[in-house]
Amino acid sequence: MAIRTFIAVEMSEAVRTKLATLIGRLRHAGADAKWVAAQNIHLTLKFLGDVDEAKMADVERIVAASVAGIAPFEFEVRGTGGFPDLRRPRVIFAEGHDPNGSLAELHRRLDKAFVELGVQAEGREFRPHLTLARVRSPRNLKALVEALPKFAEEAFGTQAVSELAVMRSDLKPEGPTYTKLAAVKLPG
C-alpha cells in the first residue's frame, strides 16, 4: 500500500493560533480559496508523494541521516506572500525567516537524499513558507491580493525546531488529514 508522505516542521499552538487569526481576516476578502485548517498548518521541507509502506523505515533512516550535524534552531514566521507571485497567486502563505539557513540546508539534504528512493529532486530554490490557502478561481482574488500587503511585515511568532516529522497525508473531500508517523530529533 502507498502512503502519501511529506517531511515537515510542525508548528506550535501559539504560531498556529496567530495564523488562524490571519486566515480569518483574509477570508473576509471573499476569494474563492481553500483555506488550511489551523491544525494542519506546518512547514513542508520535502514532499515525497506516494511511498510504498514497506519503504517507510527507509524514509525514517534517510531523515535521520539528513539531520546529522544540525543542532536545534529557531526561525521566525513573519509576513505573507503568494506563489508564483502576488499578481495571480495560486498559493497564499506566511513566510519562514531563517537567517542561519538551517531550513534551506535541511531541504537541500532531504532533496538530495530522497533521490535514493526514486523521489525526483525539486530543482528550484527553496523558500520556507507555511501554506494558508490554495486559490481555486479568480473570483474576488483582487480583494485578497489587495489585503495581503497589510500583513507583509506582521510577526506571527518564533518557532523552535528540535525535530522533523514524517507525515502521512490522507486526502478527503472535506480536506486533508495529517498524521505524524515518526519524529526524528535533531542532534544536540
36-65 pLDDT per residue, tens: 999 999 999 999 999 999 999 999 999 999
* Residue ranges covered by each domain of the chain: 2-185
108 three-state secondary structure: helix
| Confidence at 138, pLDDT banded by 50, 70, 90 | very high
Residue 28 catalytic? no
Grid cell at residue 146? 489587495
The question of whether 42 is a catalytic residue gets the answer yes
Helix (H, G, I), strand (E, B) or coil at 131: strand
pTM score, whole prediction: 0.95
Write down the catalytic residue from 28, 97, 107, 129. Answer: 129
> What fold, for 2-185?
Cyclic Phosphodiesterase; Chain: A, (3.90.1140)
